[in-house]
């Protein structure tokens, strides 16, 4: 392995985001902090909002950042692990000090080929955007104008534990386990667990007491009860398709990944696919749709990529616009991949080992830390965009006018008349500054009103999409009612 490049000289680096949340953006922020710190770069962290049931302990910086060295004229750099639609709210709450006179970089995630209008508004607040995959980069670059858009290798944390501990914690009758994990809040239609169940049933049409298991591990099913119930009802006759909806501790989540004999994601689209990266890091065979962000780290030579056709997103897809497109994976091809991986042949094991090597070579925290440091060094050579200093310029103009008013109240000696032409020029210049500042203030007020109007529109569209989804689920439920057994569902099972 070639020696690591020397660390660049960097200005102060701060990183803000959902650092104490179980959201994927929160995990990305934590991994980037860890990667930079692993190569010796100090990062001042700021956790913002989004405290949820899957909260993650993460100690953020409490001491103020040190003042820059007198000889360092470069502005500090603010990194945000926040999407474009989050930036206005963050700036309006406790994030103002991380925008002013700083070079701002935001790390965005998205799962479709086109950005939404509310996400595109985020370009106004940043100087640069980073994308973890070429798929996201291609969506961003369409609307970024002259704003730099950089692609970086996303770091991955190797799951802790080992196979023996995992089998003791999750025995599953010592059977071969195909594992898929997802969050219902991330859109079940996009995550597509139904496709995995179909492919598994085609691959193994007759359940056997010692045959493979398909384990569908979810969270937040209670928030999407109809979709979860319909999925469970459809496959209730298959005891080898096991559904669990339960929050796990980080240690148990890692052990569940270790327990899997293979990991599968027949998604319609992914921004990244971090759970696949984690499984690959410990040598698990991984099967996934050959579309979207996961292609940044999955190759045909070390994973099983499933062909697809593009289809419309359609209604009932949470915040994903119905008119956009995503993938519909080929179920027979997925079934063939499941059967191949189940053989655990030497070729299958060698292919999975090649995947682990690829992740270690390109996505370890140390490798990514040096790449991120190089990107930060490039950013340190640039200045913040001019529009971000207009607030300071307006404040300076108002201060100058106030000082002139105060001096006009003082009695001047006769010789001050000699300075009258210069004073009048200064007054004219200050008046021009004031006029420009007032025009800018009015422009800002108009922009704020337009932004508020846009927020109301987006909220209305979100509610309409939710209504469409609920109507669709209700129709599905009503269509299923004649086939429902009279007995209620058993209580949800818990992980062993």
Distance CA 217, CA 495 (A): 9
Same-domain check for residues 272 and 198: yes
Residue 68 lies in a domain: yes
Residue 138 lies in a domain: yes
User: Tell me, what's the pLDDT at 397?
Assistant: 45
Residue 44 lies in a domain: yes
- Let me know how long the chain is: 496
With 80 as the cut, is the pLDDT of residue 388 above it?
no
Distance CA 65, CA 72 (A): 15
Choosing from 328, 363, 398, the residue where a domain stops is: 363
Q: How many domains does the chain have?
A: 2
Same-domain check for residues 336 and 376: no
pLDDT band at 395 (very low <50, low <70, confident <90, very high): very low
With 50 as the cut, is the pLDDT of residue 394 above it?
no
CATH of the domain at 252: 3.40.50.2000
Residue 274 lies in a domain: yes
Highest mean pLDDT among 78-92, 177-191, 391-405: 177-191
Residue 83 lies in a domain: yes
Residue 358 lies in a domain: yes
With 70 as the cut, is the pLDDT of residue 422 above it?
no
Percent of the residues in the chain that have a pLDDT greater than 90, as a whole number: 62
Average pLDDT on 244-256 reads: 94
Same-domain check for residues 348 and 381: no
Percent of the residues in the chain that have a pLDDT greater than 70, as a whole number: 78
Average pLDDT on 100-119 reads: 94
Structural domain for 25, as ranges: 13-155+369-386
Nearest C-alpha neighbor of 224 from the set 197, 196, 253, 186? 186
Same-domain check for residues 227 and 135: no
Same-domain check for residues 28 and 80: yes
User: Tell me, what's the pLDDT at 109?
Assistant: 96
Same-domain check for residues 116 and 25: yes
Model pLDDT for residues 83-99, shown as the tens digit of each residue: 999 988 888 776 778 88
pLDDT band at 410 (very low <50, low <70, confident <90, very high): low
pLDDT band at 485 (very low <50, low <70, confident <90, very high): low
Nearest C-alpha neighbor of 108 from the set 64, 75, 138? 138
Q: Which carries the bigger pLDDT value, residue 472 or residue 345?
A: 345
Model pLDDT for residues 49-73, shown as the tens digit of each residue: 765 556 677 777 644 455 555 556 7
Same-domain check for residues 169 and 318: yes
Residue 423 lies in a domain: no
Model pLDDT for residues 124-144, shown as the tens digit of each residue: 999 999 999 999 999 999 999
User: Tell me, what's the pLDDT at 256?
Assistant: 98
Choosing from 354, 386, 418, the residue where a domain stops is: 386
Tokens 């008349």 belong to residue: 417
- CA count, 13 A, side-chain hemisphere, 371: 17
pLDDT band at 490 (very low <50, low <70, confident <90, very high): very low
Average pLDDT on 438-467 reads: 70
Average pLDDT on 473-481 reads: 71
Same-domain check for residues 188 and 150: no
Average pLDDT on 298-315 reads: 97
pTM for the structure as a whole: 0.78
> Phi, psi (5° rounding) for residue 452?
-65, -40
Same-domain check for residues 286 and 167: yes
Same-domain check for residues 124 and 172: no
Average pLDDT on 269-298 reads: 98
Task: Please give the full DSSP string across 45-111, using - where no structure is assigned.
Answer: EEE-S---TT----PPP-SPPPPPPTT--SPPEEEEE--GGGHHHHHHTT-GGGTTTSEEEEEE--S
Same-domain check for residues 355 and 375: no
Distance CA 220, CA 320 (A): 19
Contact criterion met (CB below 8 Å) for 200 and 241: yes
Q: Which carries the bigger pLDDT value, residue 470 or residue 303?
A: 303
455: three-class secondary structure by DSSP: helix
Average pLDDT on 243-256 reads: 94
User: Tell me, what's the pLDDT at 92?
Assistant: 76
Residue 469 lies in a domain: no
With 90 as the cut, is the pLDDT of residue 351 above it?
yes
Model pLDDT for residues 208-222, shown as the tens digit of each residue: 999 999 999 999 999
User: Tell me, what's the pLDDT at 407?
Assistant: 60
Distance CA 281, CA 283 (A): 6
Cα Rg of the chain (Å, integer): 28
Contact criterion met (CB below 8 Å) for 91 and 97: no
Average pLDDT on 294-309 reads: 98
Choosing from 329, 363, 397, the residue where a domain stops is: 363
CATH of the domain at 62: 3.40.50
Same-domain check for residues 271 and 339: yes
């Amino acid at each position: 392995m070639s020696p690591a490049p020397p660390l660049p000289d960097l200005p102060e680096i701060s990183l803000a985001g959902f650092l104490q949340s179980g959201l994927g953006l929160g995990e990305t922020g934590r991994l980037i902090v860890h990667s930079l710190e692993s190569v010796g770069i100090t990062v001042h962290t700021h956790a913002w909002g989004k405290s949820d049931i899957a909260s993650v302990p993460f100690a953020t910086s409490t001491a103020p950042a040190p003042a820059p060295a007198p000889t360092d004229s470069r502005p500090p750099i603010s990194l945000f692990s926040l999407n474009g639609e989050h930036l206005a709210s963050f700036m309006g709450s406790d994030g103002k000090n991380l925008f002013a006179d700083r070079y701002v970089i935001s790390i965005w995630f998205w799962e479709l080929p086109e950005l939404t209008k509310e996400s595109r508004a985020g370009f106004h607040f940043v100087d640069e955007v980073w994308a973890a995959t070429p798929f996201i980069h291609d969506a961003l670059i369409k609307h970024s104008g002259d704003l730099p858009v950089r692609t970086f290798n996303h770091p991955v944390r190797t799951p802790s534990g080992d196979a023996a501990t995992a089998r003791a914690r999750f025995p599953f009758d010592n059977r071969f386990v195909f594992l898929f994990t997802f969050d219902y809040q991330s859109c079940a239609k996009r995550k597509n667990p139904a496709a995995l169940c179909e492919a598994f049933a085609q691959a193994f049409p007759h359940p056997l007491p010692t045959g493979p298991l398909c384990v569908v591990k979810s969270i937040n099913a209670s928030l999407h009860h109809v979709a979860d119930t319909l999925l469970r009802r459809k496959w209730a006759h298959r005891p080898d398709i096991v559904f669990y909806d339960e929050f796990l501790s980080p240690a148990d989540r890692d052990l569940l990944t270790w327990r899997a004999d293979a990991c599968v994601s027949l998604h319609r689209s992914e921004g990244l696919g971090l759970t696949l990266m984690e499984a690959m890091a410990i040598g698990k065979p991984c099967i996934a749709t050959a579309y979207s962000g996961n292609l940044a780290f999955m190759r045909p030579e070390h994973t099983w990529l499933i062909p697809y056709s593009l289809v419309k997103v359609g209604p009932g897809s949470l915040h994903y616009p119905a008119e956009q497109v995503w993938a519909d994976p080929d179920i027979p091809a997925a079934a063939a991949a499941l059967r191949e991986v189940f053989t655990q042949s030497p070729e299958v094991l060698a292919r999975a080992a090649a995947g682990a090597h690829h992740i270690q070579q390109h996505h370890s925290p140390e490798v990514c830390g040096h790449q991120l440091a190089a990107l930060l060094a490039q950013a340190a050579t640039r200045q913040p965009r001019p529009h971000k200093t207009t607030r300071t310029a307006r404040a300076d103009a108002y201060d100058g006018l106030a000082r002139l008013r105060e001096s006009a109240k003082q009695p001047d000696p006769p010789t001050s008349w000699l300075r009258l032409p210069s004073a009048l020029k200064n007054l004219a210049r200050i008046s021009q500054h004031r006029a420009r500042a007032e025009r800018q203030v009015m422009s800002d007020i108009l922009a704020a009103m337009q932004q508020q109007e846009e927020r109301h529109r987006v909220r209305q569209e979100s509610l309409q999409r939710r209504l469409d989804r609920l109507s669709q689920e209700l129709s599905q439920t009503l269509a299923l009612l004649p086939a429902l057994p009279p007995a209620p569902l058993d209580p949800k099972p818990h992980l062993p």
